[in-house]
Amino acid sequence: MKIIDFIVQNVLTQAAVTISLIAFLGLILQKKSIGQVLSGTFKTLLGFEVLSAGSSIIQASLAYFAIIFKHGFHTKGLIPSIEAINGQAMNQLGLGNQIALTLLGIFIVNILIARFTKWKYVFLTGQALLWMATMCTIGGHFAGFNGITNILVGSVVGGTFATAMPAIAQPIVRKITGNDSIALGHFCTIGYMVEAGAAWLFGERGEKKHSVEEIKLPKSMEFLQDTYLSVMVVMVPLYLITAAFAGPKWAGQGAGDVNYMVYAFLQSIQFVVGVYVLLAGVRLLLGEIVPAFRGIAMKLVPDSIPALDCPVLFPYSPNAVIVGFITTTIGTVIGMFFFPILGLAVILPGMVTNFFAGGTAGIFGNAVGGRRGAIIGGVVHGLFITLLPALLVGVLASMGFADSTATDVDTISACLFYAWIIGPIMKAI
């Protein structure tokens, strides 16, 4: 048990370690030299850590933005947090061991499905697997499963999600990347497919289809073709306007002696810095993990495809990332005011989710329906990722989780599957 706990806590939940070990194994299986093995392993580790550093910078900047947005526009409601749900499940319900073993089980089931079926996707986003294990364990616990039964059912449900979601998204991922070298391992995939569906319905097709990346600018505006400058041009006004509404009390938190508007400006620049670092990490990671993974594919899981976290798609369509972020945010703001009319909880826009999930959704919308698809699809996506957390509030409340909800729509869907389908079946039996 101690060995399993060690593996779960120190390997499977540490994505950098997991991916580096996979790269190491892949290079060994390809019989590379010691120098090539060490180089590929450490470059993979470095690439992931650089990616994570970029994500952390972005999250810190967006945390500030979330505060000024809330107080600038006087919004009150629930902030989705899977971390809080996980903590309560482990500390108050005593489900820590079951969550850990379910996480391990999900990984094993995913490998088995990839090995013996045509779905060759190996889900490598460790943190996402942890959140899926959490929601499956909670859902199973309140559906009436206990101990090993809960672990086994959760492993099958979570492992199926871990395999099915990359498979469902792959046709569009293939269109984005041009090949099947990578897949998408992020439990917001149902939301991405909702955006893709909206983009197909309302977007551009055929000769009328124009990518966000093909926007032609006058010479005086050609500097905006630089990804980072275009991000800056969008984010700086967004931060400054929001800070102006929030005022010095909230916008100046943490600013010290610096003027609050100047501080807001610097926070917006930090966001751009985060994007720069993140994309650099993505390029370094992909340059190493894909060739290394081929070694595992040849030996353990023939023709397997690594399913990686959503930022791996950002370099393929950087403008669509920004469009997706903005339009998803618009959709979440609309949902924040609209869904309470229907008797649902007020869900505050989660800026981190809006950027990462919204940006990825924007890439999907652009790939399917061009510029119009990315814009309209983004708003629909924002509404969808507000609706599901709002629906989850009531379900979690019935389980004893007061004023709680989650973000990633696939994990929410798994929990709703337990609450709406498995639970009633268990009670009927």
One DSSP character per residue, 130-177 reads: HHHHHHHHHHHHHHT--HHHHHHHHHHHHHHHHHHHHHHHHHHHHHHH
pLDDT recorded at residue 291:
76
pLDDT recorded at residue 159:
97
CB 157 within 8 A of CB 417: yes
Low-confidence ranges of the chain (pLDDT < 70): 1, 4, 8-13, 15, 217, 219-225, 293-294, 296-298
Q: How far apart are CA 53 and CA 55, in angstroms?
A: 5
pLDDT recorded at residue 297:
64
pLDDT recorded at residue 79:
78
CA atoms within 13 A on the CB side of 419: 17
Q: Which helix (H) or strand (E) is 102 found in, with range? A: helix 96-116
Q: How far apart are CA 212 and CA 268, in angstroms?
A: 23
Q: What is the pLDDT of residues 327-347, one digit of tens each?
A: 999 999 999 999 999 999 999
pLDDT recorded at residue 12:
64
pLDDT recorded at residue 45:
87
pLDDT recorded at residue 421:
95
CB burial readout 16-27, b (16+ within 10 A) else e: bebbbebbbbbb
The count of other CB atoms within 10 Å of the CB of residue 207 is: 6
Rounded to 5 degrees, what angle do the CA atoms 176, 182, 188 make?
Answer: 75
Q: Which two tokens stand for residue 175?
A: 């269109």
Which one, of 427, 58, 3, 46, lies nearest residue 268 by Cα?
58
pLDDT recorded at residue 238:
87
**pTM of the full structure:** 0.84
Range of the domain at 309: 2-428
Q: Which helix (H) or strand (E) is 27 found in, with range? A: helix 15-29
Q: How many domains does the structure of the chain reveal? A: 1
R_g (Cα) of the chain, nearest Å: 22
Q: How far apart are CA 49 and CA 45, in angstroms?
A: 6
Q: What is the pLDDT of residues 374-419, one digit of tens each?
A: 999 999 999 999 999 999 999 999 988 888 899 899 999 999 999 9
Q: Which helix (H) or strand (E) is 374 found in, with range? A: helix 351-398
